[in-house]
Each structure stands twice: as C-alpha cells, then as structure tokens.
C-alpha cells in the first residue's frame, strides 16, 4: 500500500537522524484506520520506535479522519441534519460502519454549536 510505503520511508529518514543506537530500535507496528474523502482505509501499518515517539506528517496522533470529512459533517450539522441522518449519509458515502453516533456527538464543533443554540433559546 502506498501510504505504508510512505510511512516506512518517513520512519527510516527520521531513524537515520538519531545517533544513539538505544533510541534507534524498532518496535514493530501499530494498526490505524483512517477515514478519507475516498472512503475508509483499514489496517494501515504505522511503524514505531521502542524508546521514543514517532509522529508522521500524514496524520496526527489521535486523528481518525481527514479534515475534508470533518468539514462535510460540520456542514451537514449546520444545515440542520440530525445525528442519525449524518451517520446514515456518511455511511452511504464512505462505507458502512465508518462512524458511530457517539463519534459524531463527540466532535467539539457540534457541542459548541449546540451550546450556542441552547444559549440563544433562553
């Protein structure tokens, strides 16, 4: 997979810059799923070090979807779509089981919008 090849190249380039052999040790891989505007990419193998952190430029540590997907979901919410409708639309566009209601409700943007709406209603 192209993403995994890029991650390996980035990892090895970063590893070559480390002088101390204690920190150069590999520690296998961890698996990551990433939701893109093209669909869900499952089981991406991300390399890791034994005694230090490696952060790729492709995605952040806890990032599970790209910003285009986030912006799309935010626009749907602002237009008045319910959480269930957003989940249904996202699953149709990006594939089944790409996100749960808990994931959608957990987005900070949605909580901020809801709090602003409830404040304005008072």
SS (H, E, C) 24-38: CCEEEEEEEEEEECC
Q: Which tens digit of pLDDT belongs to each residue from 15-54? A: 888 777 767 788 889 898 888 777 778 888 988 887 777 7
Mean of the pLDDT values across residues 104-109?
Answer: 61
Quick check: 59 pLDDT over 70? yes
Residues 30, 16: Cα–Cα separation, whole Å: 21
Quick check: 102 pLDDT over 80? no
Residues 1, 94: Cα–Cα separation, whole Å: 19
Cβ neighbours, 10 Å, residue 77 = 19
pTM of the model as a whole:
0.58
């Amino acid at each position: 997979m192209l993403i995994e090849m890029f991650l390996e190249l980035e990892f090895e380039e970063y590893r070559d810059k480390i002088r101390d052999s204690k920190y150069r040790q590999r520690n296998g891989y961890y698996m990551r799923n990433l939701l893109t505007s093209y669909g869900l990419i499952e089981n991406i193998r991300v390399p890791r070090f034994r005694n230090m952190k490696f952060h790729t430029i492709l995605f952040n540590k806890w990032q599970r979807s790209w910003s285009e997907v986030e912006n799309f979901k935010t626009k749907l919410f602002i237009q008045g779509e319910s959480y269930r409708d957003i989940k249904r639309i996202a699953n149709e566009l990006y594939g089944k089981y790409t996100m749960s209601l808990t994931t959608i409700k957990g987005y900070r943007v949605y909580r901020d919008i809801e709090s602003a709406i409830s404040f304005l209603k008072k």
